[in-house]
Amino acid sequence: MSALSCHGLGRSFGALKAVSGVDLSVAPGARHALIGPNGAGKSTLFRLLTGTMRPDTGTVHLDGDDVTGLSEVRRCRRGMSQTLQHSSLFGSFTVAGTVALAVRRHTGRAVRPWPHREPDVTARTDELLTRLGLADRAGEPVPALSHGERKQLEVALALACSPAVLLLDEPAAGMSPAESARLLTLLTGLPPEVTVLFVEHDLDLVFDLADRVTVLHLGRVLLTGTPDEVRASDAVREAYLGTARREELFTG
């Protein structure tokens, strides 16, 4: 059984078919990348899977259950969590306070001004900050973080609800090479029981992290395979670069 799957998924905007008949299956525990050239439909597919956008056609299944009609919040309650391409963090909170708030919200308890003062919340907050390399930044206000550290914090927030499936929308966007390398280390160290589907433009990160890769082109699945199969595909090369040489695309 797939941890996350969709069948015949489609979404149009007027005459434009942004996503058309997409079938996707993400195995439990996978590190599955979703890539494609600009305009391929990656962002639309991501929204359809997370529930922030409703499909015109097709179905989405989470751990075998049909969640097509469920909202983003209800999918989260069933074990799906996500990070966004653009940060939406609270600037008035500290790093620890931000994570503690997410941890407490997951427990179902009412939101309190200082949730990190509760022992169980504190323990889980400290665990997440350590896992994501932010323990030494716990007392800093969120605006003091670098771009890369904010991305790390967003992953910590996504993990606060103990998801079975984690979706990452361009986690390395805007990062320096050093920050991307740090992110790769952190993502590689995620618990093996957490299934990860991520959309990413940084192909070096994709091929270093993913065990499966799905390539979208013009709203359809062009290829799903291992990183080596995707690297070797003439169809993928042409989708990205026309007739340009493969080594111009897959470098590093």
How many Cα atoms are found within 13 Å in the side-chain-facing hemisphere of 63? 14
131 in any annotated domain? no
Sign of the CA dihedral 94, 81, 26, 217?
negative
Strand pairing category for 4-13 and 16-26 = antiparallel
Classify residue 98: in a domain, yes or no: no
What's the pLDDT at 101?
85
* Residue 210 domain-assigned (yes or no): yes
Number of structural domains the chain divides into: 1
What pLDDT shows up at residue 43? 92
Residue 75 maps to a domain: yes
| CATH at residue 214 | 3.40.50.300
Do residues 206 and 236 make contact, with C-beta atoms less than 8 angstroms apart? no
pLDDT < 70 stretches in the chain: 84-91, 107-117, 241-252
In a domain, residue 122? The reply is: no
Instruction: Report how far apart, in Å, the C-alpha atoms of 113 and of each of 73, 110, 151 are.
Output: 22, 10, 24
Residue 173 lies in a domain: yes
Output the pLDDT for position 47: 94
Flag whether 181 is in a domain.
yes
Question: What integer pLDDT is reported at residue 252 of this predicted model?
Answer: 45
Q: Where in the sequence is the domain holding 243, given as residue range(s)?
A: 4-91+164-248
Does residue 172 lie within any of the structural domains? yes
